[in-house]
Amino acid sequence: MEGIEGRLYRELDPPKHGEIGIFIPDEKGIPYYMLGLIVEDFSKVRKQMKTLVVPAGTYAVFTTANVDQTYNPNAFAEIIKATWEGVFIHFFDESSEFDYDFSKKDFEYYDERCHSEVDPIMEIWVPIKQKEKENA
């Protein structure tokens, strides 16, 4: 991945460092994980590359806790999973004033803060909308 990532940064020359990780459906509707760079336009994208526009919306942003991967190389992946679980168990509980906005896509955002063995962090962006009030 490191060689591919470096090549993409050289070829696409994005305005800043940052990758998006997102699940999207293939032609059969089966979701797969796509990791890509954030670019301002698709002018430098080659035919073999896929593009995706993430629509603007209202998002709740969750930052993972710091972890030390020195002795556990899976620690970062584990804290990402735990953060996702926390979002859907705690943020969207019955008392929440927000619902998940299914008209948008959630995604993971990785920038320079995630590239170290000690204390890497990343963000999870979840589309939200105000919860509709129930009629009494």
DSSP string, 39-69: -S-STT--TTS---------EEEEEPPP-B-
Per-residue pLDDT, averaged over 90-107, amounts to 94
Are residues 134 and 84 part of one domain? yes
Give the range of the structural domain holding residue 22, as residue numbers without chain letter: 1-39
Amino acid 117: pLDDT: 80
Please name every residue paired with 31 in a beta bridge, in sequence order, or none if there are none: 25
Is residue 68 a part of any domain in this protein?
A: yes
Of 109, 102, 112, the C-alpha closest to 124 is 109
Are residues 83 and 21 part of one domain? no
Cα radius of gyration (the chain): 17
Are residues 84 and 129 part of one domain? yes
Are residues 117 and 68 part of one domain? yes
Is residue 51 a part of any domain in this protein?
A: no
Are residues 85 and 18 part of one domain? no
Q: What is the mean pLDDT of the chain?
A: 91
Are residues 125 and 93 part of one domain? yes
Per-residue pLDDT, averaged over 27-52, amounts to 91
Question: Could you read off the pLDDT of 42-93 as tens digits, one per residue?
Answer: 999 999 889 999 889 999 999 999 998 888 989 999 999 999 999 999 999 9
Reported in sequence order, the residue ranges of the chain that DSSP labels E, i.e. its strands, are 19-25, 31-37, 59-63, 98-100, 107-110, 123-130
Is residue 44 a part of any domain in this protein?
A: no
Is residue 117 a part of any domain in this protein?
A: yes
Upper half-sphere CA count for residue 72 (Cβ side, 13 Å): 10
Are residues 35 and 64 part of one domain? no
Are residues 64 and 128 part of one domain? yes
Which comes out higher in pLDDT, residue 14 or 116?
A: 14
Task: Identify the band that residue 2 occupies on the pLDDT scale cut at 50, 70 and 90.
Answer: low
Of 53, 59, 80, 70, the C-alpha closest to 128 is 59
Report percent pLDDT > 90 for the chain.
70
Amino acid 135: pLDDT: 58
Is residue 49 a part of any domain in this protein?
A: no
Is residue 80 a part of any domain in this protein?
A: yes
Q: How many other CB atoms are there within 10 angstroms of residue 50's CB atom?
A: 8
Q: Return the top range by mean pLDDT from 26-30, 59-63, 114-118.
A: 59-63
Number of domains in the chain: 2
Amino acid 70: pLDDT: 87
